[in-house]
Amino acid sequence: MKKKLLTMTLTLTMVAGMLSACNGSANTPADNSGNAEASDATGATDGAAPTEEGSTDLGGVSDDANTLTVAAWDPNFNIPALQAAEAAFQKKNPDFKLVINTVSGSQDVENAVTNAASAGDYSTLPDIVLFQDHYIQQYVTNYPDAWQDLSGASIKWDDFGAEKLSYSTIEGKHYGVPVDNGTAIFAYRTDILEQCGYTIDDVTGITWDRWLEIGREVKEKTGKYLLSMDHSGDDLPYMFMQAEGLSQWKDGKPDIVGNDTYQKLLQVIVTGADDGVILLCNSWSEYTDESIVGDQVAGVMNGNWIIPTIKQVKENSGKWALTTIPTLSGKEGYAANGGSSLYVTSNCQKVDLAQEFLAYTLGGGEGATETYDNALKNGGVITCCISAGKSSVYQEPDEYFNGQAIYADIVKMGASVPVVEQNDFHYNLRTAIGTAITNATKAGGGADLTTEIQSAAQDIDRQMSL
């Protein structure tokens, strides 16, 4: 336990500065990558007590037989989805109430679980918590007594993409119910492409080499980058590899040294940065506010939660389209970045009610379509439930994306995202590889990329041995 707690402490220290995957709002500058805190996220709804930033008080449970408590973050994104689920379930159970304790970010939930486990007392936890996909396996492994096994719930598990379920399925048991869809998109300014003689089809199903050629032409003729990323929390290597159907990990260890595919993909980023095709931003705000909202780019690739940031530039309505990710071979690539699921804690005394609520709403039951239709309309949460993505709401054309039914397309793309090996040190590796990329660019000194990858692997091996 001492080693596990030490690992947890190190990870949480990193989390405080660079959380990714769904810590903030998809409708604020702090969207799902979590590199900034969600705004106005310290209030409470439905009678729950306010939670101060960094607090580990998640509100506990209610004595009422028809009430469940849940801790989640972001009143502009996740909270509307939970409220939609509550309203849908109340049509089946009019006495049902969901008390939502709105915390400042995912770190509040993580800290609360860690502290409860350290004290050997889970009574401070609510019935349900929202938890980041990339972190849950670590928490189930370290604190198995904190969670309820949901495998016996009437949830339509086969109605979810395999990649999304892979996070919350641990040793064959289902611990969580997926909420928000983290499928990655590659969105392009079609008017900029047209200025250079290209269409959206010309950047669909192409190699990275061809993409770089197009990017150089776009930069030369229009002055715009074809892609940008917050390099302080750079998720490009992860998404590039997943689009190839591969992981940065193998059998619990970094699989990056001597990995020809990985080095070629990192070289795409380095070359793109050197040639003015990819803008590596120094911070989350520079990425969102300057490169995207500031109209410096003709392309955006990230989890689909980045769409509201793109839409902040009203004058560009009708000038965007989204498609899949290039790959080394030229096949269409699929990846995901960000996302979360709901987990029932061991403090829940109404497990049957919790399972029934989750199955009926977010789990593919009778209320799934209503839940996800309203979650999309009110908060921008896109369903992970494939059948719910076939509703008329999801088929509606999006004017900003030139009439493309983007939400139906995203759900279809999500079903094709490959399952790849995950690891508790996901963010540690992200930081180490970000440094390697920086050092290998001309602006960073032009260091040898092979050597930089080896140094990153050594750094991760050291951290994992603590």
pLDDT tens by residue, 73-96: 999 899 999 999 999 999 999 999
pLDDT-derived band at 51, boundaries 50, 70, 90: very low
pLDDT at residue 338 in the model: 85
pLDDT at residue 59 in the model: 85
pLDDT-derived band at 105, boundaries 50, 70, 90: confident
Whether residue 14 is predicted with pLDDT greater than 80 in this model: the reply is: no
Region 406-416: mean pLDDT is 96
Class of residue 162 by CB neighbours under 10 A (exposed 0-12, middle 13-18, buried 19+): middle
pLDDT-derived band at 56, boundaries 50, 70, 90: low
pLDDT in tens, 324-353: 999 999 999 999 998 899 999 999 999 999
Query: pLDDT exceeding 90 applies to what percent of the chain?
Result: 83
Q: Which phi and psi angles does 345 have, rounded to 5°? A: -85, 165
Instruction: State pTM to two decimals.
Output: 0.84
pLDDT in tens, 274-284: 999 999 999 99
pLDDT in tens, 197-256: 999 999 999 999 999 999 999 999 999 999 999 999 999 999 999 999 999 999 999 999
Q: Which domains does the chain have, with CATH numbers?
A: 2-182+339-390 (3.40.190.10), 184-335+420-465 (3.40.190.10)
pLDDT-derived band at 424, boundaries 50, 70, 90: confident
